[in-house]
Amino acid sequence: MPATVSHPHHPTGRLAARSDPILIQGCLDGEKESWEELVNRYGRLVYSVARRFGLAEADAQDVFQNVFVIVYRKLAGVRDRKRLAAWLIRTTQRECYRLGARVAARAAGEQDLAHVEGPAQDQVAVWERRVLVRVALRRLGGRCEQLLTALFLAPGCPNYETLAQEMGMKIGSIGPTRARCFQKLEQILKELGFKDQDSPKDVSRPSPPPSAR
């Protein structure tokens, strides 16, 4: 592994569609592309957890580096490879507390972490679900990825007439296509370890107008 890990960018191409267990095995087999894809896929999550702890940018970068050093060394020991996001979140939390302890020790001569508040457990669960949904969307690919991203993840309310024109679809076909894409997405999410009680449809977005169903 390189001495430093660069901040992630949005992954593209073949590797972005691979499941976490396959990606992890590629890393363990020494594939450089697999390691880069893992960092690209989860680097933003790690960095955002560190920032939510209230860490300064430089400290968050230190946590980012430390976490991926730990990942590189301990990836083989991950028990549930379908829940890599959850393992990364826990690892990042521990590193944030360790860094907080060192900062507190320097500032006050004691390891008092009472002032260091991590994100609530339900917020951590939300982060994990969001990561899994985006990974599943990349695996889905094609028109389904484009349609569901535009309907549920893009900022603002979707304009169905504009969306239909951009995608070369009839506005009346958006609803049926969306339903088929959701079925495929839910199957991928199950493979990724998405809990049955969760639903990718929980993302706040209004239903399409009757003409788009």
Which of 68-77, 104-113, 185-194 has the highest mean predicted lDDT (pLDDT)?
Answer: 68-77
CA–CA dist 192, 132 (Å, integer): 7
CA atoms within a 13 Å half-sphere pointing along the CA-CB vector of 153: 14
Integer Cα distance of 28 and 23 in angstroms: 9
Q: What is the DSSP letter of 118?
A: P
Q: How far apart are CA 45 and CA 50, in angstroms?
A: 9
Which of 159, 166, 165, 174 has the alpha carbon at shortest distance from 213? 174
- Is-contact 37 10, C-beta < 8 A? no
Q: What is the dihedral of CA 190, 194, 197, 200, to 10 degrees?
A: -90
- In this prediction, residue 29 carries a pLDDT of 93
Question: Rounded CA gap, 68 and 111, in Å?
Answer: 25
Examine the pLDDT at 81 and tell me if it is beyond 90: no
Which tokens hold the place of 11?
């992954």
Architecture of domain 1-119: Orthogonal Bundle (1.10)
Q: What mean pLDDT, rounded, does the chain reach?
A: 75
Give 50's pLDDT tier (boundaries 50, 70, 90).
confident
Q: What are the extents of the domains in the chain?
A: 1-119, 122-213
Residues 82-96: pLDDT tens digits?
888 888 888 998 888
Tell which wins on pLDDT, 54 or 183: 183
**Alpha helices for 121-211 (secondary structure H):** 121-140, 142-148, 160-167, 174-191
CATH no., domain 122-213:
1.10.10
Give the tens place of pLDDT for each residue, 143-181: 888 888 888 877 777 788 888 888 888 888 888 998 999
- Using DSSP's 3-state secondary structure scheme, residue 111 falls into coil
pTM value is: 0.54
